[in-house]
Amino acid sequence: MQSLAGVNALPFENGRFTGVIHPFIVGDILISTQPNGITDVLKRTAEGQEKLRELPSPDGDSVQVIDWGGASFHQSTLVKLTTGTPNKLRTYVIGRDGVIGVSFGAKENTEIGDGDWRNLNVWVRRLTEPSGYDPSRMIGGFASYNTMYTATLPPDPVMRVRYTDAATAIT
């Protein structure tokens, strides 16, 4: 969180950054015996002990599980896994506008029940005849696409997303 604050990344409307953390890493935090770790600090107050007693809900993804150091973390299994010895799971911390999404509001091809739903259609066309744009036929073809929604990093040199990869004791 301090890394984001150091580049003037803004928190969300609630005044906190948002984090995404894998349930295995949440489990590691809850069983940690690390001095000055989250559980070590929380066990020193009645309110902190109550937080330790509340187990994260298994009811799907995006459940807020940890409020710590200016960030509210939500658990999700949709994080990057780096395989190796040991395997590592990524934890993200995101500031406001860290990832932006654009919806074009298109109504066509957005019904999931029609059996042919796609968010992205790509058309490829091979050019066989010369055109005013390419009279010598140097361009062999082109591709175009139709998208209804996209998410991306903002076009700004200030990165508003931080992440770390951590090994887990839970398998």
87-99 pLDDT, tens per residue? 899 999 999 988 8
17: tokens are 């950054």
Task: Give the C-alpha separation, 61 to 58, whole Å.
Answer: 8
Does residue 53 share a domain with residue 34? yes
Triad 121, 77, 158: Cα angle to 5° = 70
pTM of the full structure: 0.64
Split into its structural domains, the chain has a count of: 2
Q: What is the pLDDT of residues 102-156, one digit of tens each?
A: 777 666 655 555 555 555 667 888 888 888 888 888 888 888 876 777 788 888 8
Phi, psi of 26, rounded to the nearest 5 degrees = -60, -45
Does residue 134 share a domain with residue 119? yes
Note down the domain range covering 112.
102-149
Task: Give the C-alpha separation, 26 to 73, whole Å.
Answer: 9
76 closest CA partner among 56, 96, 55, 54? 56
